[in-house]
Amino acid sequence: MIIQKKEKEIKFLKLSETMKNNYKIIAVFTIGLLVSCNSHKNKHSHDGVDYHSHENEKNVHDKNNYFEAYSLEDESYGTKTEVTISGNDRVMVTNSLPNHKTGVFPNQGNPNSISAQNISYTFPLNPKYTGKSQWMREPGVALNGIKFEPQTAEVVVCETGENYRVEAIQNVIDLGLDFNHAHVQPTGTYHYHGTPTSMIEKFDTGEDLVHIGFAHDGFPMYYSKSGKYKPSYKLLEGNREGEDCTYDNPMEHMDISLGGHHDGTYGSDYEYVDTYGDLDECNGTTIDGKYMYFVTNEFPYVGRCVMGEVETQQQGPPRGERQGGREGGRPSIAQIIEQMDANKDGKISITEAKGPLKQDFTQIDSNKDGFISKEELTKTKR
């Protein structure tokens, strides 16, 4: 009996020791799990790009990244952007109000005020690379619902026949860009012409590549904080041609001197040189087998084309940036008359005509009265 009792006591002691060790293991595992959860709270990643939540900003992710469905709201700025996955499409519904600070609008160069929109975008969920560039007025949209529209509708016209499309980022004509290289269209739409500085700060997670948007062909758009990936555009050598050049919009008239070298004021100052930099003509490249676009601090800033399959619904000339401004690269007949009709008599005289209109004056003036009327100009435009 004594021996059996001792054997039971030994078994009990061994069982107690085993249970203690198990409790220790469970306790250590639990503590580790809690520490791990806390260290990842409000921090998500995708392909090395992390996301941080922000004060007054709500972000709901199905799988913790912007390649899946997400909701972005910021009460401070009124931002509301919802992205869902539907079949083979990524669908974005947004009011196009930025989730960051902006410059003051209206301002001297831009008389428009930011206002909420009601816009829906659809991007292919599985983009298809073609390798054939296709020009896009609006190549892509930022994650916060603000569109990228790098070109402008502003044109300098010379009496010698040359036309030059003005770049948004230049020092000759004030287009009222803020510190995000953005301003506002007459519709109230805030949009980026270049590097969206404040937006990048919002989505920066410490990695070099910051995911900032999607192009309309479905491929992602990034910004490299180190500037590692360089565009393949360079300034042309030599000097521009053109005499007696002017810039006009409904608010002002400017005489423009085009003399001098190509300095980047106009888009035609640049040429694309294959392999001159790291990026292709649409400012894209393939990294680790994945094609993507870059927004850069150098021209073209935002690519003006896409390399994937895309619908043509986003095509069309750049839209006017000013109140009552042009809605395309070519002004309408009414706008031509308004800009050239100095004495406001409703027609254009030989002394008022400029550029190609002056060169072809006698052909356009069909009744030979020394003036070009709206009717005569309309016949020419057909």
In a domain, 51, yes or no: yes
Question: Do both 34 and 55 map to the same domain?
Answer: no
Q: For residue 216, how many other CB atoms are within 10 A of its CB?
A: 26
Could you read off the pLDDT of 270-328 as tens digits, one per residue? 999 999 999 999 999 999 999 999 999 999 999 999 999 997 554 445 555 654 443 33
Question: Do both 56 and 122 map to the same domain?
Answer: yes
CA-angle at 190, arms to 184 and 191, nearest 5°? 100
Question: Do both 49 and 28 map to the same domain?
Answer: no
Full strand arrangement of the beta sheet holding 89-94: 57-61, 70-74, 79-86, 89-94, 119-124
In a domain, 324, yes or no: no
Question: Do both 229 and 111 map to the same domain?
Answer: yes
Question: Do both 344 and 261 map to the same domain?
Answer: no
Domain with 362 in it: 335-381
8-state DSSP, 332: P
Could you read off the pLDDT of 194-211 as tens digits, one per residue? 999 999 999 998 999 999
Cis peptide before 300 (omega within 30 of 0): yes
Comparing CA positions, the residue from 312, 151, 146 lying closest to residue 214 is: 146
- Interval 79-85 mean pLDDT: 98
Question: Do both 283 and 248 map to the same domain?
Answer: yes
Question: Do both 228 and 353 map to the same domain?
Answer: no
In a domain, 158, yes or no: yes
Question: Do both 100 and 130 map to the same domain?
Answer: yes
In a domain, 322, yes or no: no
Question: Do both 118 and 188 map to the same domain?
Answer: yes
Could you read off the pLDDT of 319-365 as tens digits, one per residue? 556 544 433 344 567 767 766 777 778 888 887 777 667 667 777 88
Which residue's entry shows tokens 């073609």? 130
Task: Tell me if 175 sits within 8 A of 186, measured CB to CB.
Answer: no
Question: Do both 171 and 287 map to the same domain?
Answer: yes
Question: Do both 8 and 56 map to the same domain?
Answer: no
Question: Do both 128 and 195 map to the same domain?
Answer: yes
State how many domains the chain has. Answer: 3
